[in-house]
Chain A
Amino acid sequence: MIQINRTNNGLIDQTKELSFTFNGELLKGYEGDTLSSALLANNKRLVGRSFKYHRPRGIFTAGSEEPNAIMEIGLGAYQDPNTRATVTKLYDGLVANSQNHRGPLWFDFMAITDMLSPLLGAGFYYKTFMWPKAFWEKIYEPAIRNSAGLGKLSKQEDPDTYDKGFRHCDILIIGAGASGLSAALVAGSSGAEVILADEDFLMGGRLNSETDEIDGIAGHEWAKNSVEKLKSMGNVRLMPNTTVFGAYDHGIYGAIEERSHESRANKEKPRQVNWRIYTKRTILCTGATERAIAFGNNDRPGIMLAGAVRTYLNRYAVRTGENISIYTNNDDGWRTARDLNDRGVNVVAIIDSRKTEPVINIEGVRVIINADVVNTKGRRALSSIKLSNGATIKTDTLAVSGGWNPNLHLTCHHRGVPRYSDDICSFVPGESVPDGMSVAGSANGTMVLSKAIEEGHNEGTEAARGLGYRVDYTEYAVTPQVEYNISAHWSVESGSNRAWVDLQNDVTAKDIKLANQEGFKSVEHVKRYTTLGMATDQGKTANVLAIGVMSENLGRTIEDTGTTIFRPPYSPVAIGAFAGRRRAKEFYPTRYSPSHKWADEKNAVFVEVGMWYRAQWFPEPGETFWRDSVDREVKQTRSSVGVCDVTTLGKIDIKGSDVSEFLNLIYANAFAKVPIGKTRYGLMLREDGMVMDDGTTARLSENHFVMTTTTANAVNVYRHMQFCHQCLWPDLDVHMISVTEQYAQYAVAGPNSRRLLQKIVDHEFDISNEAFPFMGASEITVCGGTPARLFRISFSGELAYEIAVQTRYGDSLMRAIMEAGNEFDVVAYGTEALGVMRIEKGHAAGPELNGQTSAYDLGMGGMISGKKDFIGYTLGLREDLQRDDRMQMVGFKPVNEQDLIQAGSHLVNLENEPTTENDQGWISSCIYSPILEHYIGLGFIKSGQNRKGDIVRAVNLLKGSDVKVEIVSPHFVDPEGERLRV
């Protein structure tokens, strides 16, 4: 429980103690700690096992690039695997467990794989598990996956919630280090809308890890003051804890705000928020990531990046060891020795691979120039290092610096290619970056702090001025200029010892060499062959080092060796964060019809039709099977009266002096002379002559029409009409608007429908057959003066009406109709009964209007007007569409009336086998007809309209069905249409 590695000061609050557990052990940390800093404070050096060889691994970095310290955080369903301890803000009650080991962390049974490593080189499974072929999927792959892997999933539904949001700005600054803050200060002062985002919960970047002075005060103090100043600007929004993970088109950036610490305290709150940020300019100030040098056994716990050692010391007040050595190829590594020495931590030695004078004179520290570390010892943690000069040094921490790599990933998200800079021995952004983006500071390869601040200021100024803002703020912060000199040094000849390049994927310099020897010359191929640069860290500490090793192997320049492609996300994003709220019933919104509440009270079974919830049927007591209800609803409607909510059908009000002309152009049948008070069935074709939709259009007055569409095509038809008006005939005086939701509309069908409606319609309106015949339309009043529309149209084939009132009265009208219909035993019917009756009547619907059928195919060729032009006319005349042997819609009934016809069955002649070659057509819709008391179907068969009476086979191989069916008229009930005209 004692934090033995904790020192004084730091940027944490040592008055606020937090408790957490690691592998079940209760530990303490402080407010402001990360999980990794708290573990190191508690001297937890071994924190995990490696991916392939199960080697002991310790914390390697202090940031999002961490390859080793990945944990399972949380318990049960809340368990989140592969979480980087270095970016996990410590909170009270945090539960962390190491992963990828069998048995305790300190004694992993799977460590035996390390002894087998000579057999397990790069691509070993591609070469080894070749035979027998069938074993790969069932034996080899499961076994390999079981032994090599990262964290485990809880296999429970993720109970966390996630959210998303949209933010906008003029200038997005990514990274709140020295250059980012400098850019934000000047951009913010111009009045531009600025968003400053940083993945860290404490803004300041490396300034929080270093001891540089800016404007005469400590760098972290300057950062803190700058943040306060930015907070006071109304036009600057700060987004700490937010990783900008991707650059997308048109100035859109994806960003994840991490709020786990908050959601653990209040589980109602989202754990992460996925922001879509829209910006006009972007300044990338993402800093740089340190890399290591590949030398023998360079992966032991206690071997860390030198900059991370400084971060733990200066920011978190944690010394990472008692006797620390530094191994570097650049000036920056020396700062680690200086800072440690200044804080009284014993620095054993500085080893610089370069032939150089000491960069900093540090009293009492052994300096070894022009030497390398070639090997290390220590079973579960570092105990000593061996140098190329033969010396052995006892040390418990080795701080390694191989140089710094600019974090230029987002510059490549639009396929930009970075270029190599000899000055910093790393890649810098190329010329092609996403539109509107500029780069500043060490992300741009500017490793000298004073210049990075200046660069940030200049980019901030330029971005603001480019957007028309006035910039008066010309001063920028000053800091002593500290040079950054480096000599490229990728790997050390380490004999038989393995030198690790990618710690997360257990890829060594030898693996890369082997891949190169086996012919993998492209960096992309080497990546896939060795798994280099994959998984949660995406090779942030490994990629450049590996490219350096490759270039040495292949005798190429680094520029010629090239890089892999950086794609979003920059760092891991939970799938849940992409899903956001869209889970389970909230996957998409729900539409409720006006009678929904009433139907729910009647225990209706609902079905999702698009986004609509529609009543499918209304079970009555004693009905145990859905067809009991549907058969009853059909029979009662056909024998007396039934009511169905048809509000979901599209309704479009069309007004204007040219509407007749317009309708005549968009419908295949004639519409120029529809009388006022009449409705006409309309068939709408696509430009290619295929049927697009059907419906009715009523003329309510000289310049006022109302059109209905199918539910599914309501939007498509409206969009099509807008296109036709706006693009084809803009001079026509036509104005349309959807009134689908303005009116609740109910079909009232059956021989008693008129008698029922006569109780609802105000008596001054005569709806007798003489006064209001079939296809009549009128604006009337109901129930004592409520405005309504009445249409005498029928989908069921019965005497029927559709009555519409303003939706505010929809619920009430349904109740009134049902009450008024009591004396007729009125029944409410749902979409199933609706479907049964339309098939009995032979009306085509969705399965028949499938985008491949012409009017002729549907038996409606007679409706096509030959006296006018209309959408679909010209292409509808194509010879192929006129052929007699096309698939034509007909009805089918089973020869044996006990047989069940399956929708989707294919039709073949009796003597033929059911093969593709013999296919004659298919059954598109099929139901049990309670009126005919057997199954019936609609479908398409070659030359169908001339084959009535023929017997064919309806075969459904998937359902094992093969029945003989007779080709009949599609109009099974009342083919002459007498019932709907009475």
Chain B
Amino acid sequence: MSNYSLTKISALEGARHDFDGLSLTEIVDQSLVMMAMPRNKTDKITKALNSSCGLSIPIIGQSGRSDDDSITLWRLQKDQLMVYFPYANDDADNYLKNKFKAPAYYTDQSDTWAMINVSGEESVNVLERICPLNLDLRTFTVGTVSRTVMEHIGTIIYREGRDSFVILTMRSFGISMMHALEVSAKNVL
């Protein structure tokens, strides 16, 4: 063994900013894994997901949750699923591989993204300053997930509750995205 040891830090070092009616909080307790579905394996994967934790594959742009609500699947494109779940260790891909026992390709994406939770009754009013999507609750329902671009930054946005969103931007852009959200909050609130 090497004599050195490493310390991990999250993309935004646990940043949190509170405003009247709004909180911006870095998400540090969740992992994200890309699950690619090999050719002709969709049926087997569907069964494995269902039998392992009650998940079903959602339609593109929607999400699905496991029986115990702990694991969320985001469907953003044809042959891929993003799995968002509470896990803090370094082997998120292997953990899921063992849990699902589904014949998919697993790629850890937890460190690829800076994850920010935008919550509070003012969420939509603040997000509409940077998010080009229609976030009206009837259109962007709870559970909807989409790729978009905010402030020139490729972003994934997931509505986990009426007034709660998860914003994902490439990790290196995390500080810029948090800044953009803060500026929006200051301009609006």
Contact = CB atoms under 8 A, between A and B. Distances in A.
Interface of A: 161, 163-168, 193, 268-270, 273, 276, 278, 581, 586, 588-593, 611-612, 653, 655-657, 703-704, 731, 733, 735, 737-743, 759-764, 782-787, 805-809, 811-813, 816, 819-820
B134 A812 contact: no
A167 B139 CA distance: 13
Q: Would you list the 7 A-B pairs with minimal beta carbon distance, nearest first?
A: A735-B36, A589-B176, A168-B134, A591-B172, A808-B8, A807-B111, A655-B105
A738 B1 CA distance: 31
A759 B4 contact: yes
Interface string B1-38: 11111111111000000000000000000000010101
Nearest to A820: B4
A805 B6 contact: yes
Given A589-B173, A737-B107, A805-B6, A166 B131 contact: yes
9 contacts: A165-B129, A167-B128, A269-B187, A656-B36, A735-B79, A759-B2, A782-B4, A786-B6, A816-B5
B138 to A, nearest CB: 8
Given A739-B112, A806-B90, A812-B6, 18 more contacts: A164-B129, A268-B186, A581-B180, A588-B152, A589-B151, A589-B153, A589-B177, A590-B175, A656-B39, A737-B109, A739-B109, A740-B112, A743-B111, A760-B4, A787-B91, A807-B112, A808-B10, A808-B111
A752 B2 CA distance: 17
Contacts of A807: 11, 111-112, 171
Nearest to A703: B105
Given A737-B109, A786-B90, A592 B172 contact: yes
Nearest to B125: A165
Contacts of B163: none
A763 B1 contact: yes
B59 interface: no
A166 B177 CA distance: 17
Q: Which of B6, B9, B108, B110 has the most chain A CB atoms closer than 10 A to its own CB?
A: B6
Interface of B: 1-11, 34, 36, 38-39, 79-80, 90-91, 105, 107-113, 128-134, 136, 138-139, 151-153, 170-173, 175-177, 179-180, 183-184, 186-187
Residues of A contacting B: mostly: mixed
A738 B136 contact: no
A741 B112 contact: yes
B111 A742 contact: yes
Contacts of B152: 588-589
B176 A590 contact: yes
Contact of B80 (A167, A273, A735, A764): A735
A192 to B, nearest CB: 11
A268 B189 CA distance: 11
Nearest to B131: A166
Nearest to A811: B9
Nearest to A731: B39
Contacts of A786: 6, 90
A655 B170 contact: no
A581 B150 CA distance: 13
Contacts of B130: 165
B106 to A, nearest CB: 9
Contact of A784 (B4, B8, B34, B136): B4
A163 B3 CA distance: 52
B6 A783 contact: yes
Contacts of A165: 128-130
Contacts of A166: 128-129, 131-133
Given A589-B176, A760-B4, A786-B6, A655 B39 contact: no
A809 B4 contact: no
Given A163-B129, A592-B175, A742-B112, A809 B6 contact: yes
A411 to B, nearest CB: 25
B172 A806 contact: no
Contact of B4 (A735, A740, A819): A819
A819 B138 CA distance: 55
Contact of A742 (B6, B108, B173): B108
Contact of B2 (A276, A743, A782): A782
Contacts of B11: 807
Q: Which of A738, A785, A807 has the most chain B CB atoms closer than 10 A to its own CB?
A: A807
A588 B177 CA distance: 11
A394 to B, nearest CB: 54
Contact of A738 (B112, B132, B139): B112
A657 B111 CA distance: 26
B175 to A, nearest CB: 6
Nearest to B184: A163
B128 to A, nearest CB: 5
Contacts of B172: 591-593, 612, 741
Contacts of A168: 134, 136, 139
Given A763-B1, A808-B9, A591 B170 contact: yes
B173 A591 contact: yes
A764 B7 CA distance: 21
A655 B90 CA distance: 20
Contacts of B175: 590, 592
Contact of A741 (B2, B9, B113, B184): B113
Q: Which of A270, A612, A703 has the most chain B CB atoms closer than 10 A to its own CB?
A: A270
Contact of B7 (A269, A653, A733, A809): A809
B108 A806 contact: yes
A591 B153 CA distance: 10
Nearest to A588: B152
Contacts of A738: 112
Contact of A785 (B1, B3, B9): B1
B5 A783 contact: yes
Given A735-B38, A741-B170, A808-B111, A816 B187 contact: no
Contacts of A760: 2, 4
Q: Which of B8, B108, B138, B170 has the most chain A CB atoms closer than 10 A to its own CB?
A: B8
A656 B105 contact: yes
A167 B2 CA distance: 55
Nearest to A742: B112
Contacts of A655: 36, 105, 107
Contacts of B10: 808
A809 B1 contact: no
Contacts of B113: 741
Q: Which of A165, A586, A592 has the most chain B CB atoms closer than 10 A to its own CB?
A: A165
A733 B38 contact: yes
B108 to A, nearest CB: 7
A687 to B, nearest CB: 25
A787 B187 contact: no
Q: Which of A268, A270, A581, A735 has the most chain B CB atoms closer than 10 A to its own CB?
A: A735
B111 to A, nearest CB: 4
A763 B2 contact: yes
A398 B142 CA distance: 61
A761 B6 CA distance: 12
B6 to A, nearest CB: 4
Nearest to B11: A807
Contacts of A167: 128
Contacts of B176: 589-591
Given A591-B172, A741-B171, A784 B5 contact: yes
Nearest to A726: B78
A812 B7 contact: yes
A653 B38 CA distance: 15
B150 to A, nearest CB: 9
Q: Which of B4, B11, B38 has the most chain A CB atoms closer than 10 A to its own CB?
A: B4
A787 B6 CA distance: 11
Nearest to A268: B186
Nearest to B171: A741
